[in-house]
Structure 1
Amino acid sequence: MTVRAILSVIGLAFTAYLAARGLIWTSPETVERGWLIVAALVLYLPVTWLWIFAIGARERTTESAATTSVRLPGWGVALALVAAVVVPNAPFLAVTEAGRTQPFVTWVIGGIGALMTIVMVRRRPVVAWTGMAILGVSTSFWLGPLQALSLGLVGSLVWVTAAQLVTIALDQAARDAERLAELQQAASAWQASQSGRQRERRLHVQRALQAAGPILARTIENGGNLRAADKEAARRAEATLRDELRGNRLLDDGVRAEIEAARCRGAAVSLFDEGGLEGLNAAELDGVRSELAGILRGAVSQRVIIRTSPHHEIAVTVVGRSTGEGAGGDDDQVDLWREIRRPR
C-alpha cells in the first residue's frame, strides 16, 4: 500500500471512531430528538469520507512551479461548510441542557476538527479555518467558551494548525527538491559541456601535432636550416593551425583537404568565422561544408577568403581574387564570388 492509502485508511478509522461515540447514548433520558443525532451522523460520515477518498482524486492543477496539489470542486467545499454548521448544532439541539456535556454529544467537536484537518491537508486553508470558526461559535453558544475549550475545541484547533504547518513544510520541501533537481541538471549540463570542450581541445592538439609536428622535428634536426620545400611546408602548417583557430566550425575532412590542395598549388586561403553558424544543426552544417568543399575544388584564384556571415539568408561568403593583367599587374581582380545560403 502507498503512504497515501495508509493515511486514508487511518483517517477513515479515526473519523468512524469519533462518529461511533455519537451512537452510544450514555444518558438516554436527556435525549429529546434522537433523530437529529442520527441525522448529524448520516451527514458527517459521507462528507468526511468523500473528502478523504473521492473529492479531487482526479482533479489536479499546479498551484506553483514547485508543488502540485489537489484542487477541490466548489460543491465539496459547500458540503464541508454545511457539515460544519449542521453537525455541531444538531446533537446539542437534540438533548436537554443536562446532556450537552455527554460524550455522545461532544464528539462533534473532535469530529468537525478532524474534517477540517482533512480539508487543510487538501490545500483549502480558508475553508478549514472558516469551518473551525463556525465550530467555535456553535460550541461556545451551547456550552460557553471555556467549557467548549475544555471539551475538545483546543485539540481540534491544534490539529488544524499542525496540518497547516506540515502542509507548508511539505510544499517548501517540494520546492527545494525541484530547485535541487534543476541545479543537478544544470551541473550535469555544465559537466557535459566541459567534457565536450576538453575533447575538442584534445582534437585540436592532435591536429596541430599532425600538421606541425613533422616540420618542427625537421627544424630541430637541421638546427633551423630549412630547405625551400620545408619552409613552404612550415607556412602551410602555420596556415592550417590558423584555420583551426579562426574557422573550426567551417572545417571537416573534405574542406581541410580542398584547402590543403589549394595551398599546395600556390593559393593563399584565409578563413574567418564571424558568427552566423550557431543556429545550424549537424546536418545543416554538413551541407554547408559540402558546398564549400565543392566551391574550393573548382577555385583557381590566387587568394581565397572564406568568411561566415551573420546575415539571416547567407551562411558563408567565398571571395577569390587574382592579380590583374592590366595597369602593370598591380591590381587584384575579383574572379570568384560565391554565397552559400542558410538552410531553411
Structure 2
Amino acid sequence: MVSVRTVLVSLGIAFTAYLAARGLLWTGGSVEQPVVLVVAFLLYLITTLLCLFVNAPRPDDVDDAAVTDDGSRRAARLPRWVSALAVVTSVIVPNAIMLSVAPDSRSAPFATWYIGGIGALMVIVMVRRRTWVAWSGIALLAAASMAWLGPLQALALGLVGSVMWVVVAQLLLRSLDRAARDTSRLAQLQRAASAWRASQTGRQRERRIQVQRALAVAGPILSRTIERGGALDGRERIEARIAEGQLRDELRGPRLLDDVVRGELDAARRRGATVTVLDEGGLDGLDEAQLWSIRAELAAAVRDATSDRLYIRTSPDDRVAVTVVGRSAAGTSLTDEDSVDLWREIPRPR
C-alpha cells in the first residue's frame, strides 16, 4: 500500500525536477558562464534531495511526529547542517544564476526558475519543521531577486507564489498538528473509558462471584431455617452463626480470603471465638502473589490464636498490611475488661 509520505516525496521530486529542468533549457537568451549555471543547478538539486531524505521519518512515524514533543517529533525535524545548507543555497543559487546569464536574459524563464525552485525548497524546509529557516530563505530569495530584477518584476515572475506556498505550508502544518493533538487526546480519553469500563466489568464480576459464594454458604441454612420456622437445634444454630460470619467475611474482606483462610476462620468460630474481618482499602496496589503471602501469614495467625474475639483488619500504614488483634476475658467478674492477648502485624510486601 502506498503511504502518504511516499506520495508527498514523489510530488516533491517531480516538482523539483520540473523547476530545475527549466534552468537547463537555454532558449531565448544567452548564457555567459554555463559552468556556473550547471553548478548552481546541481547545488539546488542536491540540497533539495537532502532536505527530502536526510533523517526523514518512517512512513508510520509521519503522524506521530506531529503528536508529541519528544523524540518522534525531533526525528521529523530537518538536521541543522541541512538547514544551514538550505540557507546557503538560497543565497548562492539566485546570485550565481544571475551572474552566469547575460543581462538581457535575466528575466527569461530559464534564468528565473530559481524563484519557484527556492520557494519549493523552503516549503520542504517548512514541512520538515524548520520554520525560521524557511522564512529566512524566503527573505534572502526576495532580497536577491529584487536586487537583480527589481521589486515589481520579481513579484511578477513568481516571488508572490513562493511566499504563498510557504504561508500555506505553515498553515497546513499547524492544522495537521492541531488535528493530531486532538486525535491523541481523543485516543487517551478512549483508553481511559475502556479502562474504566473494564474495571467496572471486573467489579461486577467480583460482586457476582461474592453473591454466588454467599448464597452457597448461607443458602442451605437459610432454607432449613425457613422450613422449620426458626426452630433450630443447637448444632444448627452453630451452623447458622458460622454461616452468618462467613457471609460477613465475604462482603467485608474478600481480598483477605482464600480457601485456607476461610477454613481457619471457620475453625476459630467452631471453637467459640467471635471473628470480625474488615478490608478498608489497605491492600490497594498489591498483586496476587503479594496477597497470597499476606493470606498465608493471616491463616497461620488465626490458627495459632486462642482469643475469645479476633479482629482482623487491613492497615493504612505503608509498612503494615494487616493487623490481627485478639481479646479475651481478663477475669470472671462482669466488670473486668477484656485484655489484649494477641497483637500481630503482617508486614506489607516490598
- Residue 73 of structure 2, aligned match among 68, 77, 102: 68
* d(CA) in 2 for partners of 1:280, 1:252: 15
* d(CA) in 1 for partners of 2:55, 2:340: 78
Q: Is the 8 A contact 1:109 1:153 kept in 2?
A: yes
* d(CA) in 1 for partners of 2:216, 2:42: 88
Question: Is the aligned partner of 1:343 residue 2:344?
Answer: no
Partner of 1:319: 325
Deviation at 1:117, TM superposition (A): 0.9
* d(CA) in 2 for partners of 1:159, 1:302: 87
- Residue 205 of structure 2, aligned match among 196, 199, 203: 199
- Write the letter of the residue equivalent to 1:25: W
Q: Cα deviations across residues 45-82 of structure 1 (Å, max 9, x unaligned)?
A: 11111111225569x99786366252222221111111
- Write the letter of the residue equivalent to 2:177: D
* Secondary structure in structure 1 of the residue aligned to 2:340: strand
Q: Is the 8 A contact 2:313 2:324 kept in 1?
A: yes
Deviation at 1:326, TM superposition (A): 6.0
Change (3 A) 1:199 1:149: same
Partner of 1:52: 52
Partner of 1:35: 35
- Write the letter of the residue equivalent to 1:49: L
Partner of 1:134: 140
Change (3 A) 1:326 1:214: closer
Partner of 2:276: 270
* Secondary structure in structure 2 of the residue aligned to 1:200: helix
What is the count of residue pairs matched by the alignment?
343
Partner of 1:9: 10
Alignment of 1:16-31 (within 5 A): 16-28=17-29, 30-31=30-31
Report the more deviating stretch, 232-241 or 178-187: 232-241
- Residue 220 of structure 1, aligned match among 186, 204, 226: 226
- Write the letter of the residue equivalent to 1:99: S
Q: Is the 8 A contact 1:106 1:151 kept in 2?
A: yes
- Write the letter of the residue equivalent to 1:26: T
Partner of 2:151: 145
- Write the letter of the residue equivalent to 1:65: T
- Write the letter of the residue equivalent to 1:283: A
CA RMSD of superposed structures (Å) = 2.5
Partner of 1:285: 291
Deviation at 1:322, TM superposition (A): 2.0
Q: TM-score, normalised by structure 1?
A: 0.90
Q: Percent identity?
A: 58
Deviation at 1:169, TM superposition (A): 2.2
Alignment of 1:144-183 (within 5 A): 144-183=150-189
* Secondary structure in structure 2 of the residue aligned to 1:68: helix
* d(CA) in 2 for partners of 1:37, 1:250: 84
* Secondary structure in structure 1 of the residue aligned to 2:82: helix
Q: Cα deviations across residues 167-196 of structure 1 (Å, max 9, x unaligned)?
A: 222222222222222122212211110111
Q: Is the 8 A contact 2:67 2:177 kept in 1?
A: no
Q: Is the 8 A contact 1:302 1:321 kept in 2?
A: yes
* d(CA) in 2 for partners of 1:246, 1:57: 55
Q: Is the 8 A contact 2:323 2:345 kept in 1?
A: yes
- Write the letter of the residue equivalent to 2:47: V
Change (3 A) 1:324 1:54: closer
Q: Cα deviations across residues 218-276 of structure 1 (Å, max 9, x unaligned)?
A: 23222334444433333322222222232222111111111111111211111122343
Q: Is the 8 A contact 1:304 1:320 kept in 2?
A: yes
- Write the letter of the residue equivalent to 1:23: L
* d(CA) in 2 for partners of 1:316, 1:262: 18
- Write the letter of the residue equivalent to 1:68: R
* Secondary structure in structure 2 of the residue aligned to 1:40: helix
* Secondary structure in structure 1 of the residue aligned to 2:346: strand
Moved over 6 A (4+): 60-64
Q: Cα deviations across residues 272-315 of structure 1 (Å, max 9, x unaligned)?
A: 22343223221111111111112212222211121222223322
Q: Unmatched 5+ residue regions in structure 1?
A: none
